[in-house]
Structure 1
């Protein structure tokens, strides 16, 4: 073939955009406020023939820019995949719905048929869900296979709107003879709670084609878990169930175990940090033992599981020849139980699949609390006001599970400051010290109503660095369920109030040390920094609004929050929510 023919062929191929059909502006940190600012993107979209996938994540798009980009999409009928996560960094939440409506209308005008829609890490709340409601019900989403709405602050109301939209989409598409066949659903860190989970469970029952469900850290307890379990029985192709960091208790775990007995394609079960307890673990072990031949991963970490129940789980995986990972870390096995567990796995030639047991939490002989009593308390304690869910945003980033929340100890407790006229049992003081050594939400809650006093006793309030260490350990275990949230914020308030009133307290040292331990300011010393800033940023947002917090610190914190730093990679929304609050003070 002559070289000129090759050249002509290359030109022809270029014009038809052979090679995947994807146009990417991912991670370019573009700030697009106006149509003019978006001119480059618009030009490339308009010139891209057969556009099938558009990546806009990692930029910040304003209302006018979104309208202009939408116009360029209005004739892109071939578009199938919209990767639009983390697309409104630093925007007011009131701006986001208008932008989403413009983009959604463009897709409907074009007659696109989406297979993937990713709007994760956009803190748009219930109003954002309303802005995509029409899109989700339209023909554009009749073909949807993957929906990713991780860390969007939907709340209960947003979850219910989403569930209704998905149900309607399935109904309308079914009437056309081609039911929507959603395979992947991701909605972690959205404060869905029981009401949102129950609404979505109803939608899942109708859909029936799910293969992966990820709903981590949503404040769901046993009523919501039970509803999801029942819905999963209608989705026989399920391969992955990830409900990490919700609250099953025994009742929810047993309901889920019954469902697992009916599912034959499960490969990954992640019920870590879900308080499945021994009763639930034994039920799950039975489901695993007599089924789930395709199981590759089982995570029951941090579930208050005692030794005998953990051994039952280990024995259940003997014939699971595809198993790659068993995580039972952070339970209550004791040294003897850990050794016994390792011996059992050795006898199966599966020692390599057993994860670390370094965070085991007891001697393995403790009695479990009565599940029914605990569940009644959870029902009372974890009810959140709907209006609160509608008004607040959540912190952002891809969710990392309990490993990130359990920060390494920063230094060791120093001298005890004894308040007068109050006697604290030695066991309580030791529990406070244990929390400071290995922080976790459960340990903080177990300190009870005197948790603030107990931690104050373990902290030298005249030492700014010690105050920072305690503050960050408390903030690091922040969770959106009402009980943990209240405990963290109350303790942080009490700690800082007392510290800031201590004669001679060094405020400059406090803010400098805080920035160092958060990884925002370099130090000459070798210091273990916090690995996940979502909790600290969220708690800082709370404390800076209090009268006791010195306003002089806010410009310093703001300056470092505005700097580019890899520490913010997994918490962009928490960062910008904090900045927005600072601007309004």
Structure 2
């Protein structure tokens, strides 16, 4: 009796269908504000008139629950062929209660149509853990049983959202296994979730999902605040995904210990093509152990890109790195700038690459500006001596691990109160959990003990918190600046929603202008401004263009932004340039 592999047949049919030109509906970048069902009529008609709806691209528009309900009804009738839901940047200006409801409506429509998605892209929707509730319903449904690409970049998931996402994907895997016995369960290939502050716990939860899948070909999780414990969990999961081609963990604190964990998983990834571990604090030892794993004879023949930039790597690792790339015939890019090789080390590196005919793949070799040339070469000698002495190396590793553990411990101990007392970039990044929710809870707790009405006090506390967070939007530390912008956006959205709901817009505007130093407070006991107003004004260049930013507040800001700040007896304006830039934005709205 002939047997058939239904999974292989389905894969072949999918590949055949991929060759057929796609048709679909795109409203990409139209900046439509769809609140009611009537607002969504244009989108609904386009869906209804589409002969074969392979994709629906709504990027750059904003969709409320009622509009989502109308689109969902259209999908019920026409969505059976839908393969790609391209829904990036689709909820700008929406309250946190609206987003999960909108996602649930869309998910219901897809399920009713018996849709089988291949790609779901919800990147750049800062819905946080609350939004994951609606997303979880969709991900656990039959519409996602055939999902191959899941893109959730810059969603503000946090640890809580990461855990909820992991649970939804595990449910999807289990449910897809039960739906048709004998067929393959969820076989995700691409998982993208950068800039989500998942941290160790969120990464560990997702690692459990990756272990179940075993089908991943691309994992991209940059800028997530993951330390070596989370990296170790991910490394274990990578080992059972042998088809992995792309791994991007840029700007996480991998460290030497995390590097050792990744090095153990590399032999199980024979198809690896791109490895991005830039800005991961690998140090010289971490880079060396990874390079040694890549240098195994016959390993990783398909490697095309290797990024080890900005990792405080010294010259002692040069031989190992050169050996790692020497036999990689497909290699087109080797990124090593931002390290501390020293001038002599750079010469040795270039010479070794010339000898192995690999100089052409090397990018720039700019040193880390925070390290002096003398320090680099001194570090080079110390590490060379340590490499000759196993006991010394062991002690150095122990000290490094203790230092990383101390950083993690300090990071766990930072509270909202700690940040508000000392609003530094480091403290903002070390603040764990859903940061937006933490600041809101702090404002509520402070307002309960206030002497004035709770509504007014809540707004005042929240605005001061916003000022201290947004002051970091002028930070030269990119990771902190990005996080400050995200949190500032979320807090302003909540503030304006609260002011509108409680009919306190005029009071809000007054407190807002006082805390920006644009008008004086009548309350002589009011605290002084001890935050960097430059960052606050920079943040407003983006925030003032948001749909949720109140017109009354924008008009008040336009009037007072031109007045110079008075310092002492002389009228000066230290923020003239940044205020002028904000004024230009306001005038264009």
Q: Into which bin does the TM-score normalised by the smaller protein fall?
A: 0.5 to 0.7
Give 2:68's match in structure 1, choosing from 66, 69, 77: 66
- Pick closer, same or farther for the CA change 1:46–1:316 going to 2, 3 Å: same
Distance across 2 between alignment mates of 1:326 and 1:170: 37
The alignment status of 1:141 with 2:144, answered yes or no, reads yes
Give 1:50's match in structure 2, choosing from 52, 69, 72: 52
CA contact (8 A) 1:251 1:280 kept: yes
CA contact (8 A) 2:537 2:582 kept: no
CA contact (8 A) 1:315 1:344 kept: no
CA contact (8 A) 1:148 1:187 kept: yes
Distance across 2 between alignment mates of 1:199 and 1:64: 33
Distance across 1 between alignment mates of 2:54 and 2:538: 44
Q: Which moved more, 1:308-317 or 1:54-63?
A: 308-317
CA contact (8 A) 2:339 2:366 kept: no
Give 1:93 shift. 2.6
Give 1:516 shift. 9.5
Give 1:255 shift. 0.5
Give 1:206's match in structure 2, choosing from 194, 207, 212: 212
Q: How does 1:219-298 map to 2 (within 5 A)?
A: 219-290=225-296, 291-298=299-306
Equivalent in the alignment of 2:378: 365
Give 1:392's match in structure 2, choosing from 436, 439, 445: 436
- Pick closer, same or farther for the CA change 1:342–1:518 going to 2, 3 Å: farther
- Pick closer, same or farther for the CA change 1:480–1:279 going to 2, 3 Å: farther
Give 1:195 shift. 0.2
- More RCO (CA 8 Å, sep 6+): 1
CA contact (8 A) 1:219 1:481 kept: no
The alignment status of 1:169 with 2:167, answered yes or no, reads no
Equivalent in the alignment of 1:326: 334
Q: How does 1:155-554 map to 2 (within 5 A)?
A: 155-175=158-178, 176=180, 177-290=183-296, 291-360=299-368, 361-362=371-372, 363-366=376-379, 370-383=399-412, 389-390=433-434, 392=436, 472-474=474-476, 476=478, 478=480
Q: Which moved more, 1:344-353 or 1:234-243?
A: 344-353
State the secondary structure of the residue aligned to 1:98.
Answer: helix
Distance across 1 between alignment mates of 2:535 and 2:112: 54
State the secondary structure of the residue aligned to 2:172.
Answer: helix
Distance across 2 between alignment mates of 1:382 and 1:481: 15
Q: Deviations over 1:496-519 (max 9, x none)?
A: 999x99xxxxx9xx9899979999
CA contact (8 A) 2:473 2:538 kept: no
Equivalent in the alignment of 1:541: none
Equivalent in the alignment of 1:22: 24
Equivalent in the alignment of 1:37: 39
Give 1:381 shift. 2.6
- Pick closer, same or farther for the CA change 1:323–1:21 going to 2, 3 Å: same
Q: Deviations over 1:360-393 (max 9, x none)?
A: 3442332576321222112213337799633528
Distance across 2 between alignment mates of 1:470 and 1:128: 26
CA contact (8 A) 2:173 2:186 kept: yes
Distance across 1 between alignment mates of 2:87 and 2:235: 30
Give 1:261 shift. 1.7
- Pick closer, same or farther for the CA change 1:563–1:332 going to 2, 3 Å: farther
Distance across 2 between alignment mates of 1:206 and 1:323: 31
CA contact (8 A) 1:190 1:217 kept: yes
Equivalent in the alignment of 2:130: 127
Mind listing any 5+ residue stretches in structure 2 that lack a counterpart? 1-19, 384-395, 417-430, 439-470, 488-514, 521-528, 543-560, 568-572
- Pick closer, same or farther for the CA change 1:470–1:93 going to 2, 3 Å: closer
Distance across 1 between alignment mates of 2:41 and 2:483: 44
Distance across 2 between alignment mates of 1:275 and 1:151: 22
- Pick closer, same or farther for the CA change 1:35–1:497 going to 2, 3 Å: closer
Q: Deviations over 1:44-88 (max 9, x none)?
A: 111112211000001112222112111111122111110000111
Report how many residues are paired: 427
Equivalent in the alignment of 1:101: 104
CA contact (8 A) 1:144 1:181 kept: yes
CA contact (8 A) 1:22 1:54 kept: yes
State the secondary structure of the residue aligned to 1:147.
Answer: strand
Distance across 2 between alignment mates of 1:40 and 1:218: 38
- Pick closer, same or farther for the CA change 1:353–1:518 going to 2, 3 Å: farther
Give 1:557 shift. 7.5
CA contact (8 A) 1:276 1:303 kept: yes
Give 1:116's match in structure 2, choosing from 116, 119, 130: 119
- Pick closer, same or farther for the CA change 1:160–1:385 going to 2, 3 Å: farther
CA RMSD of aligned residues (A): 3.7
Give 1:179 shift. 1.0
- Pick closer, same or farther for the CA change 1:564–1:98 going to 2, 3 Å: farther
Distance across 2 between alignment mates of 1:92 and 1:202: 31
Q: Deviations over 1:218-243 (max 9, x none)?
A: 00000000000000001000000000
CA contact (8 A) 2:119 2:147 kept: yes
Q: Please, what TM-score do these two structures have when normalized by structure 1?
A: 0.66
Q: Which moved more, 1:256-265 or 1:366-375?
A: 366-375
State the secondary structure of the residue aligned to 2:56.
Answer: strand
Distance across 1 between alignment mates of 2:84 and 2:437: 26
- Pick closer, same or farther for the CA change 1:471–1:109 going to 2, 3 Å: closer
State the secondary structure of the residue aligned to 2:226.
Answer: coil
Q: Please, what TM-score do these two structures have when normalized by structure 2?
A: 0.66
CA contact (8 A) 1:66 1:102 kept: yes
Distance across 2 between alignment mates of 1:265 and 1:475: 35
- Pick closer, same or farther for the CA change 1:159–1:81 going to 2, 3 Å: same
